[in-house]
Amino acid sequence: MAVDVHIFEVALRDGLQNEPVSLSTAGKLAVARALDAAGVADLEVTSFVRPDRVPQLADADAVVEGTQRLTARSWVLVPNAVGMEKAVAAGARRVCTVVSASETHNLKNINRSVRDSLAELRKVIGLAVDEGIAVRAYVSTVFGCPYEGRVPVERTLDLACRLLDLGAQRIVLGDTIGTGTPDQVAEVIAELGEVGIGPERLALHAHDTFGTALVNVYAAWRAGVTHFDASLGGIGGCPYAPGASGNLATEDLVHLFEGMGVSTGVSLDGLLEAGRLLGDLLGRPLPGRVHRALIGCGCVAPRRASIGG
């Protein structure tokens, strides 16, 4: 089915890795099937990281195998060449890589300088190219770094050019700490265009920490970007505080675009079902707005009328 906007669902990886509760493999696969049934075409399902560092994703092999029967394409995050080899051995055919636009964040997150990360990514993406594996390359902290503040756009331009040259198919602009603004999003996309990287090569990974995810998505969409990351129920994305949000909720994204008559190919009812399952498995209310509004009371009608506004 042709869609206007493509949704890349990250709950099973980016979401779950930040959860205190580890889901069973069966639970993850049940959520994956619910997302698949809702019409989500791309799922980031796990990460090949060290199980002692991220125990929530220690079952990566089993998750990759279990999601290969879905209609949805499954993707895995690989932090380095070792992870890439494990992913290939597990049968993964689509990978995500990551590097930060800011030096300090890369050091804290990947434990490498950006230069060393690029050297590692040359190996990772080289292997992917040899194997015919698709690569989606995250660039983190494009719009702000928790240690360095605003990040010069030149860092992003440089990384994006190099990653595409190495063989990545798409650059994912990450608003890692959620401080991006719509004018900044439009500016970065315009600057990328000036170095020959059009919006068709981009995706936006917006964080909703400060409630700006949808306005940043809207600004990117107006600038021609049609690929967006989101997480079921808004889980993950490293929220600052309990009850706060991190990732943009997939339900909120689909609700916005479908409301505008822009097709996502995803059923909101199907997502609500998947979100209900995920909330039950995690045993906590999920932060997404649409989830809270519609799952909270099980109805679409407003609770009551009130005078004013």
For a copy of itself, which residue of 140, 156, 250, 264 counts as binding (CB under 8 A)? 140
DSSP secondary structure letter of residue 39: T
CB of 12 to a copy of itself, least distance (A): 12
Residue 195 or 260: the one with the smaller Cβ distance to a copy of itself is 260
**Segment contacting a copy of itself by CB under 8 A, of 47-55, 113-121, 161-169, 189-197:** 47-55
From residue 36, give the alpha-carbon distance in Å to each of 31, 71, 266: 8, 7, 9
Distance (Å, whole) CA 255 – CA 249: 10
Residues 145-174 that bind a copy of itself (CB under 8 A): 146, 172, 174
Answer yes or no whether residue 225 interacts with a copy of itself by CB under 8 A. no
**Segment contacting a copy of itself by CB under 8 A, of 64-72, 126-134, 160-168, 214-222:** 214-222
Residue 35 or 177: the one with the smaller Cβ distance to a copy of itself is 177
**CA-based nearest residue to 127, from 96, 84, 164:** 84
CB of 39 to a copy of itself, least distance (A): 19
Answer yes or no whether residue 42 interacts with a copy of itself by CB under 8 A. no
Answer yes or no whether residue 93 interacts with a copy of itself by CB under 8 A. no
Residues 60-89 that bind a copy of itself (CB under 8 A): 77, 79
Single-letter residue type at 151: V
37 contact partners, CB below 8 Å, separation of at least 6: 270, 273, 274
Answer yes or no whether residue 32 interacts with a copy of itself by CB under 8 A. no
According to DSSP, the β-strands at 170-174 and 73-77 are unpaired
Structure tokens at 30: 């049940």
Answer yes or no whether residue 192 interacts with a copy of itself by CB under 8 A. no
Give me the catalytic one of 96, 145, 161, 238.
238
CB of 84 to a copy of itself, least distance (A): 14
Single-letter residue type at 306: S
The DSSP-derived string for 190-245 is HHHHHTT--GGGEEEE-B-TTS-HHHHHHHHHHTT--EEEEBGGG--S--SSTT--
Place of tokens 């040259």: 165
CB of 94 to a copy of itself, least distance (A): 15
CB of 193 to a copy of itself, least distance (A): 20
Residues 230-249 that bind a copy of itself (CB under 8 A): 237-245, 247, 249
298 contact partners, CB below 8 Å, separation of at least 6: none
Where is 86: in which H helix or E strand? helix 81-90
Annotated catalytic, 297? no
**Segment contacting a copy of itself by CB under 8 A, of 12-20, 29-37, 125-133, 190-198:** 12-20
Q: Which positions are annotated as active-site residues?
A: 238
